[in-house]
Amino acid sequence: MLKDIVGQEEIMKRLQSYVESGNMPHLLFTGPPGVGKTASAVSIARELFGDTWNNNFTELNASDERGIDVVRHKIKNFARTSPLGEADFKIIFLDEADALTSDAQSALRRTMEKYTSNCRFILSCNYSSKIIDPIQSRCAVYRFAPISHDAVKERIIHIAQLEDLTITDDGLDAIIYVSQGDMRKAINAMQAAGLLNKEIGMEAIYQITATARPEEIGELIDLALDGNFIGAREKLDSLLLNQGLSGEDIIIQIHRTMFDKTISNTMKVKLMDRIGEIDFRLTEGANERIQLEALLAYFVLIGKDNES
């Protein structure tokens, strides 16, 4: 139910008003993964339609069915039929709608107009900029933010109590660190660790999620900035070979850790610029070992320049 979705209280209040009135406009939910967009759509349907919600609600994942045919056939066929029971309208939920092609979105715009009397649309996406303006203008837009650390912590403790699990303080901090505001990721990490041991600690979380401890990434950066390229390279080898992290995982964690470093802003700007460049090269398919070692070499050079 809407009241059970944590971390989005203001949005839930506004969505609850639609349920209480028994009517709603087309909706567009946008935001990062794991923050409650799909749960909100399902909760609206369950509260509006009660026991008949399955008959008056359909969910399509647009990343699997991206083309115009899905709009012309699947969506239109469901939209044109009358709602069952005492419902005034049906709901079509399009998850990952930003994966729809531009032609499919243009066809969807017309369908939303034509069947608005007996059908409402809820679109969910990570990037609203990929949704064409005519569709955005037809929807009430709700922007979901990452779940706050306090909300993640509260929910994880609640689930742990229900499942008879024990989470240490450092284990809880590790879950918050790896989740980055993604409640789904936090719960999955706890579940995977809980299958191995009823007591969940920091090491279990980092191993399960293939994440390096923040201190290890900090040590990697410090070694490079202090001019110890060989030591930094050995630390990199440990992360890549022993812990099985990918190059992109390490780049993302280096990026996060940089903001905690007590170095000058000028130095941070230079390093962040190079981190962005290396991240782009990895995305384009460059060799991750060569690119990461090149990044460490740049850190060494910047560290020496800073000393002089």
Domain annotation for the chain: domains and CATH numbers: 2-143 (3.40.50.300), 149-208 (1.10.8.60), 214-307 (1.20.272.10)
Separation CA 152–CA 113 (nearest Å): 39
Question: Please, which residues bridge with residue 199 across strands?
Answer: 166
Distance from chain centroid for Cα 293: 29
Spatial CB neighbours of 103, under 8 Å, sequence gap ≥ 6: 67, 68
Separation CA 11–CA 28 (nearest Å): 12
pLDDT at site 66: 61
Cα angle at 39 between 185 and 100, to 5 degrees? Answer: 90
pLDDT at site 290: 94
Walk along the chain (308 residues) and give the pLDDT tens digit of each residue: 666 777 888 888 888 888 888 888 999 999 998 888 988 998 988 888 888 888 888 888 766 666 666 667 777 777 778 778 777 888 889 888 888 888 888 888 888 888 888 889 999 999 888 899 999 998 999 999 899 999 999 999 999 999 899 999 999 999 999 998 899 999 999 999 988 888 898 988 988 888 889 899 999 999 999 999 999 999 999 999 888 888 898 999 999 999 888 888 889 999 999 999 999 999 999 999 999 999 999 999 988 776 65
In this structure, what is the dihedral angle of CA atoms 203, 204, 208, 211, given to the nearest 10 degrees?
-20
Separation CA 182–CA 32 (nearest Å): 8
pLDDT at site 265: 87
pLDDT at site 228: 93
pLDDT at site 67: 63
pLDDT at site 275: 95
pLDDT at site 307: 63
Exposed / middle / buried, residue 196 (Cβ in 10 Å: 0-12, 13-18, 19+): exposed
pLDDT at site 118: 85
